[in-house]
Amino acid sequence: MERAAEVPWVAEALDGFTNCRATCDHFAFCLGGNPANKFFETGRFDTTETTHCRTSKKLLMKGVFQHVAGPRKR
């Protein structure tokens, strides 16, 4: 494990987690997503938002936050 970051794809995946942490308000929920999903959607491990992320993580959290906030006053 000490030398895992020396493996190119592992280093790229770690960069992906770092990028997500720096740019996403929902990082605490998904912890940077699944590297395999990132790779199969984009061909890279260091990307941030994917379609899977938007549709199964971010929209879910948006719905939870709206539910917790209660009905909107008109």
Which pLDDT belongs to residue 49? 92
Residue 70: predicted pLDDT? 83
Q: What is the pTM of this model?
A: 0.77
The confidence score (pLDDT) of residue 38 equals 96
Instruction: Name the burial class of residue 19, with classes exposed (0-12), middle (13-18) and buried (19+) by CB atoms within 10 angstroms of its CB.
Output: middle
Query: Could you tell me the residue ranges of all domains in the chain?
Result: 4-69
- What stretches in the chain show pLDDT beneath 70? 1, 74
Contact 49, 56 (CB under 8 A): no
* pLDDT for 74: 67
Say what the pLDDT of residue 72 is: 75
Report, in angstroms and rounded to the nearest whole number, the Rg of the chain calculated over CA atoms: 15
